[in-house]
Structure 1
Amino acid sequence: MESASTLGFIAGILTTVAFIPQVVKIWKTKHATDISLGMFAIFSGGVLMWLFYGIEIDAMPVIVANAITLGLSMTILIFKIKYK
């Protein structure tokens, strides 16, 4: 694997894993009132665009990181709506 792809995977892992504590915290506390619905909706849209971009340029680090991040972000959005 070339160094640019390795760097991309490491960056993707770090930025994706950053969302896991928030998902776990909301899931455990059943409390999401401090989460901004607008911010996560806009963010999710941006991540979806990054995913499409990664697919378009066939960049696996971008595809994998953004697919997982989109799932985590959508989970937070669902929790936000569910635990209003």
Structure 2
Amino acid sequence: MVHNNATLHHHYHRSKKKSTKYQKILDKLVYAAGIGGPIMTIPQILKIWAEKTVAGVSLTSWSAYLIMAIIWLMYGIEHKEKPIIVTNALWVVFESLVVVGIIIYG
């Protein structure tokens, strides 16, 4: 049996709906939270790298956070969800800095 690939190939296109004012505000808030959350990790990164101290910082917890961020990043990329990609790309970078710092100075 011969199949014609042209007839078996289907595309699903998501139609763009017009965003409401509420949706636009919510989109901006999501980006702010998505960038603000990882930025709150900077004091921990500075403490580890500048002071070279990891007292009270859990390698297990930060490694778990890193793994979760990687999974979310992969999900965002697969589903082309820009807010998820941006947020979790930042988390991966910042959490990696914490984990590597714990390993080096721990």
Q: 1:17 to 1:3 in 2, by over 3 A?
A: same
SS of the aligned residue for 2:100 comes to helix
SS of the aligned residue for 2:68 comes to helix
Taking the aligned partners of 1:28 and 1:47, their CA distance within structure 2 comes to 25
Higher relative contact order (CA 8 A, sep 6+): 1
Kindly report structure 1 stretches of 4+ aligned residues shifted beyond 4 Å.
none
Taking the aligned partners of 2:28 and 2:72, their CA distance within structure 1 comes to 18
The answer (yes or no) to whether the contact 1:8–1:62 under 8 Å persists in 2 is no
The answer (yes or no) to whether the contact 2:35–2:90 under 8 Å persists in 1 is no
Taking the aligned partners of 1:25 and 1:76, their CA distance within structure 2 comes to 10
Q: Give the paired residue count.
A: 84
By how many angstroms is 1:6 displaced? 1.5
* Correspondences of 1:1-84 after superposition (within 5 Å): 2-84=24-106
SS of the aligned residue for 1:35 comes to coil
TM-score by length of 1: 0.89
TM-score by length of 2: 0.72
By how many angstroms is 1:59 displaced? 1.3
Query: What 5-or-longer segments of structure 2 have no aligned partner?
Result: 1-18
Of Structure 1 and Structure 2, the greater helix share is in: 1
Query: What 5-or-longer segments of structure 1 have no aligned partner?
Result: none
Instruction: Give the superposed CA RMSD.
Output: 1.5
By how many angstroms is 1:21 displaced? 1.0
